[in-house]
């Protein structure tokens, strides 16, 4: 029997890790589930919007239940099941575009500056200067303020306002063991990838370990979404044009995401295209009709004024000509 190098490596890998259930889960996801599920999501830049409001890690079902913003609620398939994948797929691997200089990005998520730093006309680094040390996250108020500032500064550009909530850390609940997005923020400040040993410890890790109760985390997540929606509602009311509220991906709370997947999953792992992670809200709030109506009314008023001015000028010019002709004896 001939033993190839690939088989030797596989044998060695199994021998070293066969007791580690996380290793089995990762291999099962990559080798089996990865061939079953496919990324057929929407490229957000190809959709029709003037303002795109992104709620990080927002599940469609929870959004549908808690949303009070008036508009047309639809859904879309995200291009990623994590923020990293969403950003790379939409802005680095777009099939027809290599840059997006028609877009200004207001970013509470550090991955925007880490993964796609040169793709947009400007990035407002709210994840940096809008950081709140008390809550160990980015306040939604800071995102609203910079989104309005960006809209005034660039009135003719498309705007993306990326809130961090309902992604942890939760504004109304503290889990002492978690680190929030502290290490990701440090990595973005230094412009380096997050070392695996320094990966942020999240409520999903603690939930998976059994150190937190599912009802406790679920309640904190819902409260975090309800809080950020109040800010989003105010922001949408002040933005002109067509606004869309969506998410980069959803979140898992210990579900078995697929009938062929024997493990429970938590958080938002990449390359897992299951409904709880890739079906995201798409709320359309369209104020273009009102804006266009006002513009049309203004144009009509300006046209009317111009016609009156021209008529008055024409009358004066005609009177002047008639006066000159009368002086020359041509008219009596």
- Mean pLDDT, the chain cut into blocks of 10 residues (332 residues total): 56 58 57 63 96 97 97 96 94 94 96 94 95 86 97 97 93 63 55 54 77 86 96 97 97 77 75 87 88 52 57 62 60 56
Q: CA-CA distances (angstroms) from residue 153 to 50, 104, 121, 241?
A: 14, 10, 12, 16
Q: Torsions phi, psi of 303, nearest 5? A: -65, -40
Total Cβ atoms within 10 A of residue 219? 14
> What is the DSSP-derived secondary structure letter of residue 106?
E
Q: Torsions phi, psi of 285, nearest 5? A: -120, 105
Torsion angle of the four alpha carbons 273, 68, 154, 128, in this order, in degrees rounded to the nearest 10: -60
Do the Cβ atoms of 63 and 247 come closer than 8 Å? Answer: yes
Q: Report the candidate in 229, 241, 281 with the shortest Cα–Cα distance to residue 69.
A: 229
Q: Report the candidate in 242, 327, 219 with the shortest Cα–Cα distance to residue 290.
A: 242
How confident is the model at residue 58, as a pLDDT? 97
0.85 exceeded by the pTM?
Answer: no
Total Cβ atoms within 10 A of residue 321? 11
How confident is the model at residue 268, as a pLDDT? 78
């Amino acid at each position: 029997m001939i033993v190839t190098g690939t088989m030797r490596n596989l044998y060695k890998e199994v021998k070293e890790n066969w007791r580690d259930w996380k290793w089995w889960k990762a291999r099962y996801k990559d080798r089996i589930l990865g061939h079953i599920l496919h990324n057929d999501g929407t490229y957000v830049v190809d959709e029709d919007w003037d303002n795109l409001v992104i709620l990080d890690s927002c599940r469609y079902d929870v959004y549908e239940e808690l949303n009070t913003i008036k508009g047309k609620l639809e859904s879309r398939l995200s291009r990623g099941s994590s923020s990293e994948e969403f950003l790379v797929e939409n802005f680095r691997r777009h099939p027809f575009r290599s840059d997006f200089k028609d877009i200004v990005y207001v970013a509470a998520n550090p991955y925007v500056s880490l993964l796609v730093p040169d793709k947009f006309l400007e990035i407002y680094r709210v994840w940096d200067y809008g950081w709140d040390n008390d809550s160990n996250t980015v306040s939604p108020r800071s995102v609203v303020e910079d989104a309005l500032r960006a809209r005034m500064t660039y009135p003719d550009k498309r705007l993306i306002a990326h809130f961090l909530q309902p992604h942890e850390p939760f504004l109304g609940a503290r889990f002492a063991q978690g680190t929030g997005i502290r290490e990701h923020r440090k990595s973005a400040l230094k412009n380096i990838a997050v070392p695996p040993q320094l990966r942020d410890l999240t409520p999903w890790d603690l939930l998976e370990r059994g150190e937190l109760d599912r009802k406790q985390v679920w309640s904190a997540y819902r409260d975090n979404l309800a809080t950020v929606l109040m800010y989003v509602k105010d922001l949408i009311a002040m933005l002109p044009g067509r606004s869309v509220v969506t998410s980069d991906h959803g979140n898992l709370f210990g579900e078995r995401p697929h009938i062929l997947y024997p493990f429970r999953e938590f958080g938002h792992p990449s390359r897992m295209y299951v409904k709880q992670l890739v079906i995201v809200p798409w709320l359309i709030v369209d104020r273009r009709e009102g804006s266009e109506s006002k513009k049309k009314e203004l144009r009509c008023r300006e046209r009317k004024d111009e016609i009156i001015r021209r008529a008055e000028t024409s009358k004066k010019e005609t009177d002047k000509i008639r006066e000159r002709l009368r002086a020359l004896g041509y008219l009596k």
